[in-house]
Structure 1
Amino acid sequence: MKRRTKNLFLNWRIILLTLVLIGSIATLAVRPLTFGIDIAGGVAIVAQTEHPVDADTMQLVVDSLQKRLNTLGVKDITVEAQGDQIVLVKVANVTTPEEANQIKNVIESQGVFYMEFGGVIFGTGRDVEYVGIYQIKSDNTWAVPFRISKSAAEKFAELARDKAGWPVDMFLDPPVNSLIIVSESVYKTMNSSEFNAQAPEAPTLMERITKAFNITVVTYANQSADEIAKLAESKEKIVLVDVPQELQAELENVNVTVRFVPRNPGESDHSLIVRVLGLYGPYSVGEGLATGAPQQDVQITGTAPDRLTAEQEASTIYTVLKSGSLPVKLTVVGMEFISPRLGEGFKNQALYAGIGALIAVLLIVYFHYRNWRIALPVASTSLFEAIIILGFAALIQWNLDLPSIAGIIAAIGTGVDQQIVITDELLGGEKTTKITRRSSVLKRMGRAFFVIFASAATTIAAMSFLLVYFVGTLKGFAFTTILGVLIGIFITRPAYAEIAKYILGED
């Protein structure tokens, strides 16, 4: 008996299970589990494209948003397309309005980046070759360094030759091909030299954006909706800036997009113009850049009232430049916070369900075989399997949501069925001579594992379909189910077979 016990613990399958189990427990001790939005809480954001798009374009939107939000550093991001205009974004562990607003700003930033000089666009986001880590200074100024292509640098150098002090503008999502209706004071500011850096003789900001982006700026003078619609006949959108909001309702029947931009409390004309145009700058051309020598390394800078705002502004610019542009503009139309308190209740319920499932497995197996020596190893193996799955999830920082936990329970249920197959095969043999018995055991184990591998293959095939072709919570269910099945067939099931052979005296 001692020799048989010694041989059991020296079996490589038992050793593998032991090492993986110890590793999983150690991982859970140093890297706590992370949970999805339905358990940890978070924010659900509904965004809408500015016009219906086809399936390929919507997939580009989903992929770009996923990449952009990953760059931002948030965890457990789910981006789902809902029809041809709606995108649902769920982000776990977001509990403050400031965090949610930062995500909202990233979603609504299409990320179309332009570099313009004298009304000529000399570079776009495609010319951005490298984006450096943003920097925040003690006075809450920030900078995002990046490198532009050689062709863009050469084009700018040619445009800026002998024009030291002239303004260089950088735009993020400007209202291209639009009619902008503004108040009289805003119009005067845009048409003055206020945005001309150190060159009053340079074209005004209004002249530059008209030439570069086909933007027409008109002063609001109580024009009717029909008159404004006529002015916007060749435009893609109408932007109402610092004018009565009632005008937006009057333009509902116009066949172009209408956007209303109110003035924030205490906001100056300068700040309002910068916000509407997505303008960064103007930056003054230095003497060194006016010589005609190309310069590829540039940066966007800004100033914020406090460090938190500076971090958010710099992070947004960094993310947009890093991840590229969206194929269509998105607008956030709804936002809902999910309380982590509700999730805590779900977590406890899932824990109780898991414990209940293990107890049910123990009792059912006992009543089936009337033998605790079989029931205890079956239930213990299921427990080990759950610990290993959780350890692996902690290792890769997989965010567990309720469907993921359901997948773990489903995988354990499948594992119990396979352990019963192994046990029944071992109990079904006849004890003859030692050689015959050993041959019989190998044949019965072969039959058992044929059934196990066939069952695992069909389960993995079905779950792989969900993993590849579905989005959202079904992915979590599919992933943990596949993970549980793989751990079962390669680690826990072979180890249980050795334990069962030992218990049933099958050497």
Structure 2
Amino acid sequence: MNRKLKKLLFNWRIILLIIFLSGSIATLATRPLTFGIDISGGVALIAQTEHPVDSKTMELVVDSLQKRLNTYGLRDVQVQGQGNDIVVVKVANVTSAEEANALKKVIESQGVFYMEFDGVIFGTGKDITYVGVYKINPDNSWEVPFRISKTAAEKFATLAKGKAGWPVDMFLDPPINSLLVVPKSMYDLMNSTAFNANAPQAPYLVERIHDAFNITTIAYANQSAEELKKLADGKPIVLVDVGASLVDKLRAMNVSVRYVPRQSGVSDAELVRSVLGLYGPYSLGEGLANGVPQTDVQITGHAANRLQAEQEAKTVYTVLKSGSLPVKLKVIGMQFISPKLGESFKTQALYAGIAALIAVLLIVYFHYRNWKIAIPVASTSLFEVTIILGIAALIKWNLDLPSIAGIIAAIGTGVDQQIVITDELLGGEKLTKITRRSSTLKRIGRAFFIIFASAATTIAAMSFLLVYFVGTLKGFAVTTIIGVLIGIFVTRPAYAEIAKYLVGED
């Protein structure tokens, strides 16, 4: 191995590229890519509000609907507000009319909000008469004030007397009157003090939801479809991350069944909250445990930082408002996208990517008449695609057609920038060796000035799409920005070192 090649291989920019590339390949090998509705198939539903609404109300409708549909156990749910009266809901992997109609029912229903204490429902969304603007304090504590009806206040005061610290639960669309079949670890968690706030002596969550909503919870122990039907005794069955193979059998036996999968990285506690539509539990304050009815109350909390406090407060605010949405939705359109069509899109995108790399290879070769330059340029583009896909797999970004278009756009920009680097280096070939050495940094500097300026304008443009637009444009913007950042910080510096080696620079 000659000195120049050894110096190249141990250059930190080359090492950084190898690290990113190796990490991306390892990620893709262990985490499959997730695809959006236009590739994996699914259904898109278009809903219209009963009357035009302002932007704040539309944001509330979108947030609330997103939470309710996630509670329903769906994955890859996208809810987008468009204009002042249209809401578009896209759900991947929904291909049957039965599932689509169930979605339609959820979208068109107002949502049912419950307040529960000690296994008793003391109020619903109808009892919330006012929700104030949430407040974030300097110490990152937060509070959401709201007002409940006199009837609910009196009922709560009786229940809560002398029980400071006990859990107060809020539910949005819980699976009422159902048999909940869960993994053993999740069952044990629900039968512990994990959801008891500051009162270990309070009834466990399993008892509270049974008393309040007639939800019977059991641990899955490989029961057969017949055994589950008998245990349900006419009630709908909700299978949570267990018994997926029993769904068709139960439906064939005329049992209403819903399967809720566990998403990657979701803990038992998060899954419990998602399935039950549970928010809380919140610890009952001393001031509300004196037996005196109070209609003006508030929920408080504390977070590690202001951003987290803002998110927690906004979630509570949205859930409280969800029990009495100011506007109804009506589904006016429904469109299915076949998984077979999505597979065709995926295949076409793969062929297009291969064709693009071959085209880059040939065009660069005919421009320089040198395979030693054409092959590294095309290879760097391939490395860039691999790293982008590795990051997409790592963050579970749903790749749709616009996202793939964004990857191609980032690669196109990358090829341009590699040509700029190459031209700058080749421009000094006729100089003496000493002059070339002294001017290498200047020429590379000029190239990277152009590259950073181009990247800055691209990121600025894509950021505008990311912030001010909804829908498919976001996917295009995200992948383009990721591609540009990978280019300017990883692949472009590495290519510059390779190019210097190929044209004989030290």
Compute the TM-score of the two structures, normalised by the length of structure 1: 0.63
Distance apart, 1:71 and its partner CA: 4.4
Is 2:490 the counterpart of 1:491? yes
1:102–1:316 Cα contact (<8 Å) kept = no
- Could you say which residue in structure 1 is the equivalent of 2:251? none
Distance 1:154 1:81 in 2: 35
State, as a whole percentage, how many aligned pairs show the same letter.
72
Is the 2:171–2:277 Cα contact (8 Å) retained in structure 1? no
Other-structure match for 1:429: 428
Task: Measure, in 1, the Cα distance between the counterparts of 2:73 and 2:342.
Answer: 22
Contiguous gaps of at least 5 residues in structure 2: 129-147, 161-169, 178-201, 216-231, 239-255, 261-271, 281-314
SS at match of 1:397: coil
Deviation at 1:57, TM superposition (A): 1.0
Q: CA deviation at 1:316?
A: 9.0
Hey, what does 1:467 align to over in structure 2? 466
Cα distance in 2 for residues equivalent to 1:463 and 1:481: 7
Once the two structures are superposed, what CA deviation does each residue of 1:32-86 show, in whole Å capped at 9, x if it has no partner? 1111111110011122223332232112212222333344443332222233332
Q: From the superposition, tell whether residues 73 and 500 of structure 1 become closer, same or farther in structure 2 (CA, over 3 Å).
A: farther
Verify the 8 A CA contact 1:39 1:340 in the aligned structure 2.
Answer: yes
Whether 1:301 and 2:214 are equivalent positions in the alignment is yes
Counterpart of 1:44 in 2: which secondary structure?
strand
8 Å Cα contact 1:106-1:316 kept in structure 2: no
Cα distance in 2 between the residues matched to 1:410 and 1:490:
17
* CA deviation vs aligned residue, 1:304-354 (integer Å, no higher than 9, x gap): 544253647999983386872144222333333211111111111111111
Structure 1: tracts of 5 or more residues without a match: 129-148, 162-169, 174-270, 272-293
Report the equivalent of 1:198.
none
Task: Read off the aligned partner of 1:307 and give its amino acid letter.
Answer: I
- Once residues 318 and 421 of structure 1 are traced to their aligned partners in structure 2, the CA distance between those partners, rounded to angstroms, is 57
Aligned equivalents of 2:102 and 2:42: distance in 1?
14
Give the match for residue 453 of structure 1: 452
Distance (whole Å) between structure 2 residues aligned to residue 332 and residue 83 of structure 1:
16
For 2:434 and 2:379, the matched residues in 1 are separated by: 31
Aligned residues: 356
Max radius of gyration: which structure?
A: 1
State yes or no: 1:319 paired with 2:277.
yes
Backbone CA RMSD of aligned residues: 3.5
Change (3 A) 1:373 1:7: same
* Distance change (3 Å), C-alpha of 1:73 and 1:24: farther
Which residue is equivalent to 2:342? Answer: 343
Query: What secondary structure sits across from 1:87 in the alignment?
Result: strand
Give the aligned partner of residue 88 of structure 1.
88
Does structure 1 residue 410 correspond to structure 2 residue 406?
no
* Cα distance between partner residues in 1 of 2:27 and 2:235: 43
User: In the superposition, relative to structure 1, how do residues 428 and 52 fare at CA in structure 2: closer, same or farther (>3 Å)?
Assistant: same
SS in 2 for 1:110: coil
User: Structure 1: how far apart are the matches of 2:444 and 2:459?
Assistant: 22
Offset, 1:157 = 5.2
Matched residue of 1:384: which SS? helix
How far 1:171 moved relative to its partner? 11
Displacement of 1:402 after TM fit?
Answer: 0.7
Q: 1: CA distance between counterparts of 2:5 and 2:126?
A: 67
Where does structure 1 differ by over 6 angstroms across 4 or more consecutive aligned residues? 151-154, 170-173, 294-297, 312-317, 320-323
| Post-superposition offset of 1:489 | 0.3
Cα separation, 2, equivalents of 1:419 and 1:17: 15
**Do the aligned residues in 1 keep the contact of 2:171 with 2:278 (CA within 8 Å)?**
no
Task: Indicate how the Cα distance of structure 1 residues 427 and 65 shifts in structure 2: closer, same or farther if over 3 A, else same.
Answer: same
Could you say which residue in structure 2 is the equivalent of 1:136?
none
Write the distance in 1 (CA, Å) between the matches of 2:7 and 2:123.
72
Q: Does 1:12 align with 2:16?
A: no
The answer to whether the 8 Å contact 1:110/1:327 transfers is no
- 1:375 is matched with 374
**CA 1:459–1:100 in 2, change beyond 3 Å: closer, same or farther?**
same
Offset at residue 26 of structure 1 (A): 1.1
User: CA separation in 2, counterparts of 1:467 and 1:95?
Assistant: 29
Change (3 A) 1:316 1:111: farther
1:386 & 1:48 partners in 2: Cα distance?
39
